[in-house]
Structure 1
């Protein structure tokens, strides 16, 4: 049975373990994939926010410059 280091407490735990026996981290084998997903979701929200800001603030300013 392959062992991996828990990403939180670094105790050796089975890849099939549902939780780390040392710290209780749920599903330590998928810790990095969860963090990657949350990181991508965060940056998607940031880019959407920037896009909304540009659409509401910058586009009307540029359109006003071209109307003159």
Structure 2
């Protein structure tokens, strides 16, 4: 039975454990993949927001410059 360190409390936990017996972190073996996914989702939302802002504010200004 392979053991890993819990990412929250650093205690040794089985890879098959559903939660850490020390701190209660759910599924400590997938902690980093979960955080990576949430981080990517956050940055995707940021880039979509920036793109929408550029589309709403900058594109009309550029179009007006080319019309004249």
TM-score w.r.t. length of structure 1: 0.98
Q: CA RMSD in A?
A: 0.4
> Which structure 1 segments of 5+ residues have no match?
none
Deviation at 1:3, TM superposition (A): 0.1
Counterpart of 1:39 in structure 2 is 39
Which stretches of structure 1, 4 residues or longer, exceed 6 Å deviation after superposition?
Answer: none
Counterpart of 2:28 in structure 1 is 28
> Which structure 2 segments of 5+ residues have no match?
none
TM-score w.r.t. length of structure 2: 0.98
